[in-house]
Amino acid sequence: MEGVAPAVSLFRPRASARPTIVLAENSGSARRSPGAGGRSRGVSRLSPEMSPGGASRRMSKLRKHGSREAEAAARSGITRVPNLGTAVSTKRAGMSKDTVINLDVSHHRAVAVVRLLRIEKGKAFVDLLNEKANDSGEKEIGYVERTLGFSTRYLDDRDIRLVTVIVAGTVRWKRYLDYLIMSLCSEEKVFREMEPLLLQILRIGFFEILKLDVPAYAAVDENVKLAKVALRPGAGNMVNAILRKLVLLKETDSLPLPKIEGDDRAQARALSIIYSHPVWMVRRWIRFHGKDEALRLMNWNNSDPHFSLRVNTSKGYTRADLVKRLESLQVHYEESVMDGFVRIQEGMQAVLQAGLLKDGICAVQDESAGLVVSVVDPQPGETIVDCCAAPGGKTLFMASRLSGEGKIQALDINKGRLRILMDAAKLHGLDDIITDIHADLRLYAKETTAKYDKVLLDAPCSGLGVLSKRADLRWNRQFEDLEELICLQDELLDSASMLVRPGGILIYSTCSIDPEENEKRIAAFVQRHPEFAPQSVCGYVPTEFITDEGFYSSNPTKHSMDGAFAARLVRSSH
């Protein structure tokens, strides 16, 4: 995902961290951890109401008095509310001076299960670690406390990596995991009516056992604890029974999976379960690319993504400078086919913690996006408009290649994302070259008289080329979306063409591998606009990325990078 990277500030304690109440269920005690005031002071016993029966009585008392905390807890399926005495508030994070921390559960799993719940409800994204939100760590802990009834300690880098891996992997493999969970339930109705929180805990357990090779005893024990504390003892017993059944089936190599047989539709359904992709996507890829390539694409999408870093040459840095910093951080890297880029599989937390992004030394950008900029070929002195500019990765790269001479207009309909783009431009020392335009391209093109040397339309698309980095995107796309996107792409192309001066260049790009969004859009556009003619990208990108029609195309399975497409269109000079 271009321009987005995990942040190390998440879950790190602040200097003014509030005091915490630490719950250790096994010891039955609560202790106040040292805060700003210094050493801890003694031990307070937990009430007998911490027992299951006592919890019910506690909930009854709270409900009787109309407690908002009890109502919120009941909605979340929480039946255990600790009585911490008069000295300790049971208000949630962000509303109290004290935070309740439970040490009896795996904290990275608690964070992961809440994040998965929020993703399911459409209130969060998979990329938990978002650098743009400085208070995101506090918010995340608040979500955990409100949902589960207790908080987590601040997570270290290792825990953050585990949360990232578990959340992304569980979302990618959701269809496969759900098929197995349903198969191991006593009846389908049990799965269909399962509480959302319980289902997420099971998904985590299944993913850890099947895809992470976490020791079976650890995966079972930790997820059972989480279910008991976050829900109730009976939920823990159910998790225990189902996970143990899974372990036995895995050890005997007898997991229940659908057979790939029958007609094309039936085979696509089976493959969609085994490789955890939507059926419509599997059928479409088999149709356009063949079965073998479709399988390779799904395997790529299910693999852990790598990230690419582009050095900021506009501030005088070189790839050698970036490599030297990575080596000092002991971050393994690979040099890219593109000058100024390096790839890293792991170590993003170290990169962020060292301030390489915040200091403007480099930016997160996939090589496929960099090659689109190569197709644009920005030259000093040119005027360029980036029509759907945010979040701005291509805008910044184009500006860095102008050598301080020329102008780029960054146009986008989203004002907030434009603000982020301009903040990044200032960080990279490019704010004197880039100016922003908050507008709908379709209206702007009708109202303005401005004409540009080059116009880049990086169009909204299905994103089918970036599914390895966007774990949730496959589930958020429907076949019907393609038809709407194709209509929008045609509208935007028509509008963008109005901004090109005679003899100028229009560049159309997507992060899709679907011909309907790429080659077919260009063919339809040229029919509508005979004043434009396709120009080969030969000489702008390496030959391995050039199609027979002269377009740029990167393929995930062939080039080991995101899938992308770009075409150059020259407007006649009269």
Asked if residue 393 belongs to a known ligand binding site, the reply is yes
Rounded to whole angstroms, how far apart are CA atoms 432 and 443? 26
DSSP 320-332: HHHHHHHHHTT--
Asked if residue 387 belongs to a known ligand binding site, the reply is no
Scanning the structure block, which residue is given the tokens 């207790």?
150
Asked if residue 17 belongs to a known ligand binding site, the reply is no
Asked if residue 253 belongs to a known ligand binding site, the reply is no
pLDDT tens digits, 317-359: 999 999 999 999 999 999 888 889 999 988 888 898 899 999 9
Q: Are 200 and 120 in contact (CB under 8 A)?
A: yes
Token pair belonging to 284: 């479409």
Rounded to whole angstroms, how far apart are CA atoms 324 and 267? 50
Token pair belonging to 527: 């029919």
Rounded to whole angstroms, how far apart are CA atoms 16 and 5? 26
How much is the pLDDT for 155? 81
How much is the pLDDT for 126? 79
Coil, helix or strand at residue 173: coil
CA distances from 202 to 52, 141, 181, 210, 246 (A): 22, 21, 8, 12, 11
Averaged pLDDT, 93-120: 79
Least confident of 83-87, 127-131, 270-274, 390-394: 83-87
How much is the pLDDT for 158? 84
Domains in the chain: boundaries: 107-252, 264-302, 307-364, 367-571
pLDDT tens digits, 212-269: 989 999 999 999 999 999 999 999 999 999 999 999 999 999 999 999 999 999 999 9
Least confident of 28-32, 252-256, 272-276: 28-32
Q: Are 499 and 450 in contact (CB under 8 A)?
A: yes
Beta bridge partners of 408: 384, 434
Report the percentage of the chain scoring pLDDT > 90. 69
Asked if residue 234 belongs to a known ligand binding site, the reply is no
pLDDT tens digits, 420-432: 999 999 999 999 9
Asked if residue 490 belongs to a known ligand binding site, the reply is no
- pLDDT band of residue 99 (cuts 50, 70, 90) is low
- pLDDT band of residue 137 (cuts 50, 70, 90) is low
Could you tell me which residues come within 8 angstroms of residue 505 by beta carbon, excluding any fewer than 6 positions away?
376, 453, 454, 455, 535, 568, 569, 570, 571
Nearest-CA neighbor of 286 among 278, 546, 549, 520?
278
How much is the pLDDT for 384? 98
User: Within 13 A of 114's CA, how many CA atoms are on the CB side?
Assistant: 23
Rounded to whole angstroms, how far apart are CA atoms 467 and 473? 6
- Inform me whether the pLDDT recorded for 49 exceeds 60: no
Asked if residue 388 belongs to a known ligand binding site, the reply is yes
CA distances from 355 to 9, 100, 160, 309, 352 (A): 11, 32, 17, 13, 5
Could you tell me which residues come within 8 angstroms of residue 124 by beta carbon, excluding any fewer than 6 positions away?
115, 118
Rounded to whole angstroms, how far apart are CA atoms 65 and 234? 27
CB atoms within 10 A of CB 239: 23
Least confident of 97-111, 132-146, 154-168, 181-195: 132-146
- Burial classification of residue 565, based on how many CB atoms lie within 10 Å of its CB (0-12 exposed, 13-18 middle, 19 or more buried): buried
CA distances from 295 to 1, 199, 274, 281, 289 (A): 22, 28, 10, 11, 10
What CATH class has 367-571?
alpha beta
Q: At how many degrees (to 10) do helices 52-64 and 68-75 cross?
A: 130
What CATH class has 307-364?
alpha beta
- Inform me whether the pLDDT recorded for 55 exceeds 50: no
Asked if residue 250 belongs to a known ligand binding site, the reply is no
Nearest-CA neighbor of 223 among 172, 256, 30, 209?
209
Beta bridge partners of 334: 343
Q: Are 138 and 131 in contact (CB under 8 A)?
A: no
Rounded to whole angstroms, how far apart are CA atoms 328 and 192? 51
The CATH code of domain 107-252 reads: 1.10.940.10
- Inform me whether the pLDDT recorded for 61 exceeds 70: no
Cis bond before residue 391 (omega within 30° of 0) = yes
- pLDDT band of residue 138 (cuts 50, 70, 90) is confident
Bin 294: left if φ > 0, else alpha if -120 < ψ < 50, else beta.
Answer: alpha
DSSP 410-459: EEES-HHHHHHHHHHHHHTT-TTTEEEEES-HHHHHHH----EEEEEEE-
**Which amino acid belongs to residue 67?**
S
Beta bridge partners of 509: 458, 566
Nearest-CA neighbor of 314 among 185, 403, 251?
403
Least confident of 205-209, 336-340, 419-423, 434-438: 336-340
How much is the pLDDT for 535? 98
Which active-site residues does the annotation give? 511
